[in-house]
Structure 1
Amino acid sequence: MGISVQVLQANHGDCILVTHESLNGVWNLLIDGGNAATFQFGQRGRYSGALRCVLDELKEKGQKIDLAILTHIDDDHIGGLLRAFETPGYLSEMVSSIWFNSSRFITDYFNVAEISDNDIHLRDDSPLTSVRQGKNLETLLNEISCARQPVVMASQKIIKGPFTFTILSPDEDKLRKLLHKWPDDPEPTTTSGHSTDYDLSLDDILADDIFENDPSDYNGSSIAFILEAEGKRMLFLGDAHDKIIVRSLRALGHSETRKLPLDFVKISHHGSQYNTSSEFLSLINTHRFIISTNGAMHGLPNKRTIARILASGSGNICFNYSEIISPLLHEHETETYSSRLVALDGKIRL
């Protein structure tokens, strides 16, 4: 009974399974799917990734995904989900409903012409079929009678199963910025350098710390939300922009003197310094911050983000890859801070 959270090893991406168990049964929420290798990897996909393993476990128990949320279109969030839809016996047969601010939903919302180039296509097993010739994801979702939520936006409060969702991002302005043809790789390298900032000390970082906002429109379109059930409260930020999260939290009445209490927060954009400000941290109260990445892309997490979190209070920072931890601290910082950087070990039980 209760709530459990699995932050899967999704390479440099996000893939999180939240499970609610009660006398009424089990309800599963899947947030993002990591990159394609999170579902399967190796030659011809011969090895199962973390997402496929979890879905296999659910199938063995006779369970399903009651709701899948695709926060935004970056490959490290959508890739694994697409592979799971393309593979017979997985999401096309297991998912009951999905939230995804597709291009079609966005153009409908703004009452403008559809942008067919933004349609998401699935592969099939034929080597003669290109991705663009494959089945459209929207068509597949209709065929399998997967329930859809119209555009998900800030200020909405939605109840699904045992959970209450308070949506913090995106807002209308962020969605409007997607009214154009999307590039094949929407994640700009400018959101974080490929080199790390681990040569800097925590003190040096904080002595000269100026927050700069993430410039990516695609990250800005991330669905981010407060998730509540049974007196527990969690914050899932996808790759959302810090500015809109701060604005949404303040609109809900939270402030430096009326902080939002949380059981944990999944930090935005894999710990990028452009997505977590000291102002945001001053509005929440939690003992656990979660960062999802294997550190393989864009120099993430940034040590500047780690410094801001450590300075904001006494909470621990939890990583789904243990090897991320030791490079983050200099030798003279280890004694003070090493106990606050921890590896996730299995499920988080609330």
Structure 2
Amino acid sequence: MELIITSFEAKYGDAFLIEEHDSNIRFLVDCGFKLTYKHHIKKRINSVDFIILTHSDEDHINGVFPLINDYPEKFTLNKIYVNSPESIQVPRTNGVISIRQAKDLINLLQDKELPFGGLMQGQTIRASKNLSLDIISPTKTELDSYYKKYNSEVADVPQNTKGTNISLNSATKSVAEWANQPDSFPKKSDDIANASSIAFILNFRDKKILFLADSHPEVISDYLLKQGFSSKQKATFDYIKLSHHGSSKSISKQLLSMISCNNFIISTNGGKAKSKHPSVETIAKLATLVDRNSNEEINFYFNHSISAIETRNGPLLSAEERLLYKINYIEQNEIRIT
């Protein structure tokens, strides 16, 4: 029995293929950009059981449009999970609301008569006997806020829809100095789109993989607290797909204090424009503050060239610091779990 997680090269976006060969189950988590589908997904597969679209940012959702246009002649699937007013009922005001890309997607799904539904904290997808997904984000509260935020957009009322800034790698600091930096995540009310991201724990036999999409750290830490985890009773994971491409604005010291893991997946080519990721601060905090689950080394898996990321953004810690803190950078877009 083997689970294969493929992280497609989706530039600064997310696109994952998860396959369990024993049961012949496979599904996608996000689809990156349109070229991600054309150059990667389409060349690898032409059928999945389902797709989870974690939220409506372009770097997660745009690749699904050409995929759906290929349905059912060139690409087959059974269902898409996406949160929208049409797919999941949450108390709200003023009727149907949606951001433009999400609304365009729902219209396309309806035109294609492709089944879709929503996901929220507390639900479980049972994909096979040995494979299940426990949904941990968003809560009904975050979904309600997400829908309310875009009421005015649908009504063509001007509104500030500026997205969350991603980390900027700037002044050089030591690992210890980076680790001591205070939390910089925004308020959930200022980060509605990411706070409403679908995040889940992937259970494969006795293994647990945490997929954080672009989720807000307080949503995840609140969930873990409700499950009885704390700094003394930690939640253990075999792998964690870091939120928001390793941005320091998507982690918190409280969350880091409650998890035990030594394998972290980073999906990015380094970012765009002035936004740079992963953040050196994130790597430093993970390397110094997170329990490594009885392992000496900590591993960061990149799906793009590390040298290209560092050429663009500057060093992600020096070789001496990585040796001192036993940090491994690994260029590998396929992870096999037995």
TM-score by length of 1: 0.80
Q: Which residue of 2 aligns with 1:110?
A: 91
Q: Helix, strand or coil: the match of 2:3?
A: strand
C-alpha distance 256-338 of structure 1, shift in aligned 2 (>3 A): closer
Q: Which residue of 2 aligns with 1:212?
A: 184
Which one of the candidate residues 235, 238, 254 is aligned to 1:279?
A: 254
Render the CA deviation track for 1:159-195: whole Å, top value 9, x for unaligned.
23343222111112211122224869x98454225x4
Render the CA deviation track for 1:264-323: whole Å, top value 9, x for unaligned.
010101001011122212212222011111003211111111111111244211111132
CA contact (8 A) 2:201 2:208 kept: yes
Structure 1 residue 217: Cα displacement: 0.9
Q: Which residue of 1 aligns with 2:157?
A: none
C-alpha distance 188-200 of structure 1, shift in aligned 2 (>3 A): farther
Q: Which residue of 2 aligns with 1:10?
A: 10
Q: Which moved more, 1:219-228 or 1:169-178?
A: 169-178
Structure 1 residue 158: Cα displacement: 3.5
Which one of the candidate residues 13, 24, 32 is aligned to 1:34?
A: 32
Q: Which residue of 2 aligns with 1:299?
A: 276
CA contact (8 A) 1:188 1:216 kept: no
Q: Which residue of 2 aligns with 1:322?
A: 305
Structure 1 residue 237: Cα displacement: 0.6
Distance 2:42 2:304 in 1: 18
C-alpha distance 255-90 of structure 1, shift in aligned 2 (>3 A): farther
Structure 1 residue 257: Cα displacement: 2.1
Q: Which residue of 2 aligns with 1:71?
A: 54
Structure 1 residue 31: Cα displacement: 0.3
Distance 1:201 1:90 in 2: 54
Q: Which amino acid aligns with 2:40?
A: A
Alignment: residue pair count: 313
Q: Which amino acid aligns with 2:330?
A: V
Which one of the candidate residues 165, 171, 185 is aligned to 1:191?
A: 165
Q: Which moved more, 1:112-121 or 1:300-309?
A: 112-121
Render the CA deviation track for 1:219-238: whole Å, top value 9, x for unaligned.
11100011112222111010
CA contact (8 A) 1:84 1:90 kept: no
Render the CA deviation track for 1:125-180: whole Å, top value 9, x for unaligned.
xxxxxxxxxx9223135x24x3x33x311122342334322211111221112222
Q: Which residue of 2 aligns with 1:128?
A: none
C-alpha distance 136-283 of structure 1, shift in aligned 2 (>3 A): same
C-alpha distance 117-334 of structure 1, shift in aligned 2 (>3 A): closer
Q: Which residue of 1 aligns with 2:110?
A: 139
Residue 82 (structure 2) pairs with residue 97 (structure 1):
no
Distance 1:187 1:331 in 2: 40
Residue 144 (structure 2) pairs with residue 176 (structure 1):
yes
Structure 1 residue 345: Cα displacement: 5.1
Structure 2 unaligned regions, length at least 5: 155-159, 293-297
C-alpha distance 328-182 of structure 1, shift in aligned 2 (>3 A): farther
Distance 2:278 2:268 in 1: 7
Distance 1:103 1:211 in 2: 32
TM-score by length of 2: 0.83
Q: Which residue of 1 aligns with 2:332?
A: 344
Distance 1:81 1:338 in 2: 38
Structure 1 residue 338: Cα displacement: 6.9
Distance 1:88 1:78 in 2: 16
Q: Which residue of 2 aligns with 1:154?
A: 121
What's the Cα RMSD here? 2.7
Q: Helix, strand or coil: the match of 1:309?
A: helix
CA contact (8 A) 2:302 2:333 kept: no
Q: Identity of paired residues, percent? A: 29
Q: Helix, strand or coil: the match of 1:65?
A: coil
CA contact (8 A) 2:121 2:139 kept: yes
Distance 1:201 1:340 in 2: 17
Q: Which amino acid aligns with 2:332?
A: L
Distance 1:198 1:317 in 2: 22
Q: Which moved more, 1:162-171 or 1:246-255?
A: 162-171
Q: Which residue of 2 aligns with 1:44?
A: none
